[in-house]
Amino acid sequence: MRRGALVLCLAAASAACADEAPPPPSEFRTTAAIEEVMRYIVDPAADAVWDAVVIEVGPLGTIERVPTSDEDWATLRRHAMTLVEATNLLLMEGRRVAVPGSRSEMPGVDLEPEEIEALLSADRPAWNQFVGALHESGLVVLDAIDRRDVDALLVAGDQLDLTCENCHLRYWYPGLASPDSATN
Ligand code: HEC
């Protein structure tokens, strides 16, 4: 134990203390790359939200499928909570962008992992803001679910889609950032 250094720090609270006590290494052990957090956690959870309400107009008229039973709502809530909490995984520093060897599927459109990495480390607060927006959108979805409000869920789902898109346009396929060429 470095009791002496600790006492000194409390007394002095100076820059020298920072030298004495470097921040402890993170306890987090990240396994999934950001692309895997997207593929395995964020995307399936968001899909469950988007698929929860289906309105089809066909020859037999309009068919509407909405969550009805307690179980439907509970399942939906589980996905929404997964989505909300996944944002904390995206905030953790030290998580790599892509698995080793991963390359852009559409070179010239999708950035390569190292380009994404460079954007991210150049301005971490900006990344955190996009993640924060995803958290907020997820909370709106969760609120609609807790109120069992199907209309609000539809609106929240659209907003969620925009939140995904905004971040992707910044970090994944910025070349598509013109208003009429965007895709999800
Ligand atoms: C904070 C930024 C950010 C937000 C918000 C975000 N994404 Fe992503 N997403 C990324 C980045 C960066 C990549 C590219 C990772 C790579 O290819 O290395 C990506 C890639 C993906 C991929 C491709 C994963 C793969 O298999 O290669 C999917 C699918 C995806 N995102 C879905 C979503 C959905 C759905 C949402 C919203 C619910 C969302 N993302 C919100 C940053 C974000």
Q: Pocket of ligand 1, candidates 85, 168, 169, 171: which has the most ligand atoms within 8 Å of its Cβ, to mutate?
A: 168
**pLDDT greater than 80 at residue 42:** yes
* Banded pLDDT at 182 (limits 50, 70, 90): very low
Q: Is the CB of 167 under 6 A from ligand 1?
A: yes
pLDDT at residue 178, as a whole number: 59
Model pLDDT for residues 103-142, shown as the tens digit of each residue: 999 888 899 999 999 999 999 999 999 999 999 999 999 9
Model pLDDT for residues 59-68, shown as the tens digit of each residue: 989 999 999 9
Compute how many other C-beta atoms are within 10 angstroms of the C-beta atom of residue 142.
19
Which residue's CA lies nearest to atom 35 of ligand 1? 43
How many whole angstroms from 90 Cα to the centroid of ligand 1?
A: 10
Q: Which residues contact 104 (CB under 8 A, 6 or more apart)?
A: 110, 111, 112, 113
* Banded pLDDT at 17 (limits 50, 70, 90): low
- Which CA distances in Å does 21 have to 10, 26, 59, 93? 12, 14, 71, 20
d(CA 160, CA 177): 18
**pLDDT greater than 90 at residue 184:** no
* Banded pLDDT at 2 (limits 50, 70, 90): very low
Q: Is the CB of 134 under 6 A from ligand 1?
A: yes
Which residue's CA lies nearest to atom 21 of ligand 1? 38
**pLDDT greater than 70 at residue 9:** no
**pLDDT greater than 90 at residue 96:** yes
pLDDT at residue 23, as a whole number: 72
Taking all residues of the chain, what is their mean pLDDT, rounded to a whole number? 88
- Which CA distances in Å does 146 have to 45, 51, 74, 100, 161? 16, 17, 9, 40, 20
pLDDT at residue 19, as a whole number: 60
How many whole angstroms from 133 Cα to the centroid of ligand 1?
A: 13
d(CA 35, CA 29): 16
How many whole angstroms from 165 Cα to the centroid of ligand 1?
A: 9
d(CA 184, CA 170): 12
pLDDT at residue 176, as a whole number: 83
Q: Pocket of ligand 1, candidates 36, 37, 40, 42: which has the most ligand atoms within 8 Å of its Cβ, to mutate?
A: 42
Q: Is the CB of 116 under 6 A from ligand 1?
A: yes
